[in-house]
Chain A
Amino acid sequence: MSELEPGQHDEIARRLRDEGPAQAPPDIAAEVMRRVRSEPRPARRVRGPLTNLLAAAVILAALVVGIAKLGGTGSGSASGGGSVAETTSSGGVAAAPVKHAYAGQSLVIAGVPVTALHGAGAIDALGPVYDSAKGCPNGLLAQRRGVTLFVPAGSFSAVQQQLQSAKALTPYDTLRVRVRLRRAAAGAATAYSITCP
C-alpha cells in the first residue's frame, strides 16, 4: 500500500489541492467580528528588553527583601520587624561593618542638604553620625548619592523633622543627597550610624 508510484502520490496531492478546499460559510467572518468588536481591546503587553530587565530587577529586589526579613525572624524585635546585618561599603573604603537591629521601617527623604548630615552644619540629633560620615570615601556625600541612616526608634521622628527642616531652609544650590532613614529596633547596639553609599 505504501509502495505508491511517485505519480500516484502526485495525483492524490493534486486532487487534494484542487478538490479539497471548502468555502467558509458567509456568516463566519461577520459573527467573529461582531464578537471581536463587542470585546474590549486586547491589553497590549509591552515586553521589550528594558521591561524584562526592570521586571527582573524588581523580582530580585523583592527576593532580597524577603530573604532579609526571613533571616531576621526570631531576633526579638519588639515591633515584629526583622533584624538585618548591614555592611557599610563603598568604593573599597568604608567604615567597619556594623550590625543594626532595625524594626523594618524606613523612610526616604530626597534632597537632604549634605551639610545637614556632617560638618559644622550637621543637625543636632546627628552628632554621632558626623564621625561615621568621616569614614566614608572622600567626597562621597558630595556626590549626590544616597545614604542610609540608622537611628534609634526614640529619635526617629525628631531626626526626620530636622532633616526635613534643613531641606526646606537650606539654599537651593546646596549639594543634596537622598537619605533613607531606618528605624533601629529598641535596644539596638549601634545607636546612630551611617551606611555609606
Chain B
Amino acid sequence: MSLATHLPALQVVLPLVSAPLAVLLRHGGVAFAVVTAGAWAAFATAIGLWLEVGQLEHGAFISYHIGNWAPPWGIEYRVDRLTSLVLLLVSGMAALVLTASRASVEREIPRESHYLFYAMFGLCLAGLLGITITADAFNVFVFLEISSLSSYVLIALGRDRRALAAAYRYLIMGSIGATFIVIGIGFLYLMTGTLNMADMAARIGAIESSRPVLAALAFLTVGISLKLALFPLHQWLPNAYTYAPSVVTAFLAATATKVSVYVLIRFYFSVFGESLVFDKLPLPQIMLWLSLFAMFAASFTAIFQDNLKRLFAYSSVGQMGYITLGLSFDSVNGLAASIVHLFNHGIAKGAVFLLIGGLVLGIAKPGSAPPTPSFDRLAGLAKRMPLTCLGIVIAGLSLIGVPGTAGFISKWYLILAALESGQPWLVGAVLLSSLLAIAYVWRFVEVAYLRSPAPGHEARMEAPLSLLIPAWLLVAGTIWFGLDTSLSLGSALEAAGALVRSGR
C-alpha cells in the first residue's frame, strides 16, 4: 500500500504527533518548527485529499478504515467535498497562522511556556481536523474534547489576567456543550446500536419520530450551538477572543466555530435527515429568528466596542448568524451560502485577527506587556503601519460584503436563497445588517486614518514581515475568492447539492 492511500489517517496523525514531540524537545524555537512543519504537512495532506476527491464522481467520497476494521464496527474516516473544503480551511489557516506566530508569541506569552503553547496548538489542530474527517459519532466527541481542552489552555495563556476568567468561562460553557453532545450521541447509540454516522442514518428512518431520537436531536442542537456561538449561546466568545493571545484568536476565530457548523451540518443532513429536522419540528423557524438576532444584536453591539479585538469578536457572532440563516432555509442555495460563508468568513476573520496581532506589536512599548488594542491607542496608526491597517480594511470590506470580495459571494447566495424561500423581507434584513458591518469597520477606518497620532509616535513601525506575509496572503484570499470562486463556491454548491438531495 502506498502512502497516498493513508492520507486520511495522516491528516490527523501528523499534527497529533507534532504535539508530544514539541513537549519532548522542550525548546520554544524547536517546538515552533516542529508544530509548524506538522501544520504544513497537514495542509499538504488536505490538498492531496482535495485532489483525490476531485477525481471521484459527483457526490462520492473516500472511505478509510482505521486499523483495517470495517465499518460500522471499526472507526471510519470519510472525505467528501464538504469535508475536504473544511480540512483545507482548517489546515491552511493553521499553517499560515503558525508561520506568522513567532513574533507575536515572543511578546505575548512567557518564554518558558512557548513549547507548551506550540504543543497545545498542535493538539487543537489535530482535534479540529479529527472532528472534520471522522465518520464515527463517538470519535467526533473525542476529537471535540481534544480540541476544546487544548483551546482552553491556549486562551488562558494570554498575558492579560482576564484571559484566565475568559478561559474558565469558556471551559464551563464548552463543557456543558460537550456534555449535551455526548448525551445526544448516547441516545442515538441506544436507539440505533451503532456509532457509525452513515449506519445511524440508515437505521434512524424507522424510528425517527421516537422520543429519544427527538431528545438526541435537541441535545445535539443545543450542544453544538454552544460551540458555534449561536446567539444567545455566544456569551463565552467575546471575552475568549478578546483576551486570548492574538494568534490563538486568529486561529480559533477562523476555524473552531466553523468546524462546529460543519458538525451541525453533518448531524442535520447526514444523520437525522431533513424530513425530521426541518419538516417535523419548528427548528428552521427558531434558527431563522436566532440568526436574525445574531445578525442585528451582535453586529450592533460590535459598533460600540472600544477594544478592536472585542469589536471583531462580536462581529464574528453576527457573521455566524449569516451561516445559520443559510442553514435554516433547507435549500441548495441556502446551504451553499452557509458553506461558502463558513470558508470566506474564516479567511477574512483569520486575516483581521492576525493583523490585529501585528497592531498590538506596533503599539507595545519595548519591554512591557503588549497593551489591549483600544481605539484611543490606534489613533493615526495608518501612518505608522500602512500595510497592516490596509489589510484590516480590505478584510473588513469582505465582512461587509462589498462586491469583489469573498463576502459578497456568500451574501449573494444568501439573498438568492431568501428570495427562493418566498421571504423577500429577509433580503432587506440581510442587507440592513451589512450596513451595521460598514459602521463597525468604519470606526476603525476613521480612527486609524483620520485621527492624528499622539505626539512622539509618528515613526514608521510596521509589523514584522513574518507576520505580514501570511496575513496578506489571507487578505489576498478574501479578494481572490471574491473573483475566482471555482474552489469555494464550486465545492459549496456541489456539497450542498449532494447533502440536500440525500436527505430527501
A binds B: no
Interface residues of B (CB under 8 A from A): none
